[in-house]
């Protein structure tokens, strides 16, 4: 059976967690970051894979798993978030988006979407990140979270340096450092970094030159 481009698993059932994504809950917002490599087994299928999607006004989703499934779910969740706002005349909360996504994935549990997601941002209740598995299990992460084959390395960096009172600016550098460290040790992660910061004021995706400036502080 032919393989499809993946960020986490192939169609033959063998798991390739070829992704590193991280999320940090800060005192003034949320930071989420990923690398850009997509693999088909040991083959690098893409060096510019998109793994962060904006699914709400101040809400982001990171993806690991099938590229097609991730792209479809990102489109679907954006549409459902817009419909929620139209019907209820208010913006959906992060918990509402996470619950919607969880219910959707659970309804297809016997023919699951091959994805692992992080959904996070800031709303009236504050900063939040939820991790969601392929059959809809959702867990609210209170501080840090990492997924994928590079997650062990990423967690080592995050747990060593994370503080409950960390600011978005500090967390951004920490998230990039965690991804960069994972890329150095995990052959399935690499080819650059994407990162977003989400505060009450804005949803902002960092430009390549801004990420390069951060990496240059600790690159050896």
Residue 19 is a catalytic residue: yes
List residues bridging with 53 in a β-sheet.
Answer: 61
Locus of tokens 């978030």: 81
Q: Name the residue among 9, 101, 109, 106 with its Cα closest to residue 55.
A: 101
Give the pair of three-digit tokens for residue 210.
Answer: 């801004």
Cα separations in angstroms, 7 against 16, 45, 139, 156: 8, 10, 21, 22
CA-to-CA dists, residue 11 to 40, 41, 71, 194, angstroms? 10, 10, 17, 26
Residue 21 and residue 133: Cα distance in Å, rounded?
14
Look up residue 178 and give its two tokens: 């965690």
Rounded Cα gap, residues 138 and 212, in angstroms: 33
Read off the tokens for 159: 């747990």
Helix (H) and strand (E) counts in the chain: 5, 12
User: 6: which 2 tokens?
Assistant: 């993946």
Residue positions annotated with a catalytic role: 19
């Amino acid at each position: 059976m032919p393989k499809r481009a993946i960020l986490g698993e192939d169609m033959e059932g063998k798991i390739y967690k070829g992704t590193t994504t991280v999320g940090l809950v800060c005192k003034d917002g949320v930071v989420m970051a990923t690398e850009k490599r997509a693999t088909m087994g040991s083959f690098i299928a893409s060096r510019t894979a998109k793994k962060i999607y904006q699914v709400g006004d101040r809400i982001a989703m990171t993806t690991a798993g099938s590229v097609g499934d991730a792209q479809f779910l990102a489109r679907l969740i954006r549409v459902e978030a817009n419909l929620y706002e139209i019907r209820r005349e208010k913006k959906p909360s992060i918990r509402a988006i996470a619950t919607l996504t969880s219910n959707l994935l659970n309804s297809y549990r016997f023919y699951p979407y091959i994805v692992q997601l992080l959904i996070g941002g800031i709303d009236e209740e504050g900063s939040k990140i939820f991790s969601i598995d392929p059959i809809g299990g959702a867990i609210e992460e209170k501080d840090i979270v990492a997924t994928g084959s590079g997650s062990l390395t990423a967690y080592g960096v995050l747990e060593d340096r994370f503080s409950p009172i960390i600011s978005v600016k500090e967390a951004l550098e920490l998230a990039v450092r965690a991804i960069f460290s994972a890329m150095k040790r995990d052959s399935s992660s690499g080819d650059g970094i994407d990162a977003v910061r989400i505060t009450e004021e804005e949803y902002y995706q960092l430009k390549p030159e801004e990420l390069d400036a951060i990496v240059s502080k600790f690159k050896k």
